[in-house]
Amino acid sequence: MTERKVAVVTGAARGIGAAVADRLGADGYAVAVWDLDAEGCERTVADLGERGVPACPVVADVSDETAVEAGVEQVAQRLGPPVALVNNAGVLRDNLLFKMSTADWDTVLGVHARGAFLMSRAVQAHMVRQRWGRIVSLSSTSAYGNRGQVNYSAAKAALQGLTKTLAIELGPFGITANAVAPGFVQTEMTAATARRIGRPFDELIADAAAGIPVRRVGQPQDVAEAVSFFLSERAGYISGQVLDVAGGPQG
Q: How many Å apart are CA 72 and CA 115, to the nearest integer?
A: 13
- Give the up-direction half-sphere exposure of residue 192: CA atoms within 13 A in the CB hemisphere: 8
Kind of pairing, strands 55-59 and 82-87?
unpaired
Closest CA to 162 of 121, 123, 105: 121
Integer CA distances (angstroms), 250 to 106, 165, 175, 212, 238, in order: 28, 25, 30, 8, 23
DSSP state of 236: T
| Residue 204 near residue 212 (C-beta atoms within 8 A) | no
Other beta carbons within 10 angstroms of residue 161's beta carbon come to 13
| Contacting residues for 171 by C-beta, under 8 A, at least 6 apart | 239
Over its C-alpha atoms, the chain yields an Rg (Å, rounded) of 17
| Residue 111 near residue 32 (C-beta atoms within 8 A) | no
152 classed as catalytic: yes
- Residues noted as catalytic: 152
